[in-house]
Chain A
Amino acid sequence: EVQLVESGGGLIQPGGSLRLSCAGSGFTVSSNFMNWVRQAPGKGLEWVSIVYSGGSTYYADSVKGRFTISRDISKNTLSLQMNTLRVEDTAMYYCARGTGDTAPIAFDVWGQGTMVTVSS
């Protein structure tokens, strides 16, 4: 069964750091466009970051310079290192597999999400 399972969320103070993980099963994480998408409480979806199968990484302007996406090929996992966290980063963070040959045209597999709360 194709599945994604996130972990690592929690309560963190503003300015702190947190690392999220997403374990893939039933497919190879490194062979796909892998993304992080977040959803603030009661709000809509926001794309955060992507890593292409070739290794290129890109970020939304709201997190550029603070977040880093990476993969561990040996563990078939995706990670998101979040530094200098802000109150507005509070959200449910989902990892999602992107479909498409040359661009992430849709997200066909989603994890259950991990909640990040930034508060003093």
Chain B
Amino acid sequence: QSALTQPPSASGSAGQSVTISCTGTSSDVGGYYYVSWYQQHPGKAPKLLIYEVTKRPSGVPDRFSGSKSGNTASLTVSGLQAEDEADYYCSSYAGNNKFVVFGGGTKLTVL
């Protein structure tokens, strides 16, 4: 059982937007501005998409955006493209005890 809760699946048509939620507690998501999101295609390593809730590493399209409210963070993918079909994981810093916790992952399907 993962520390952070994500929906197991999400879907949207090409060109549409989809939002994936990530719910934690005040000890992780709600307590720090250190939520990150990762994209993982089958058989590949995860790739950092968002860090510090809203920041994008160089090279990540601005179609990917992040936000947070209280204990819940969200990833929005706008203008869905076929290559966005992948698993998405959220994570949060959780202090000097658990350090980093992950969500269980959300499989995004582009219809």
Contact = CB atoms under 8 A, between A and B. Distances in A.
Contacts of B100: 35, 47, 50, 104
A105 B57 contact: no
A69 to B, nearest CB: 12
Contact of B93 (A94, A104, A108, A110): A104
Q: How large is the interface on B (under 10, 10 to 19, 20 to 34, 35 or more residues)?
A: 20 to 34
A110 to B, nearest CB: 4
A107 B57 CA distance: 11
| Interface SS of chain A | strand
Given A45-B38, A45-B105, A47-B100, A108 B48 contact: yes
A110 B46 contact: yes
B103 interface: yes
Contacts of A58: 96, 99
Contact of B47 (A46, A104, A105, A110): A110
B74 interface: no
A44 B103 contact: yes
Contacts of A53: none
22 contacts: A37-B46, A44-B2, A44-B102, A44-B103, A45-B46, A45-B89, A45-B102, A47-B91, A50-B99, A94-B45, A103-B34, A104-B93, A104-B100, A105-B36, A105-B51, A106-B36, A106-B91, A107-B36, A108-B51, A108-B57, A111-B45, A112-B45
Given A45-B38, A106-B48, 16 more contacts: A44-B89, A45-B89, A45-B91, A45-B102, A47-B102, A58-B96, A99-B51, A103-B34, A103-B96, A104-B93, A105-B32, A105-B34, A105-B36, A105-B52, A105-B93, A106-B91
Interface of B: 2, 32, 34, 36, 38, 45-48, 51-52, 57, 89, 91, 93, 96, 98-105
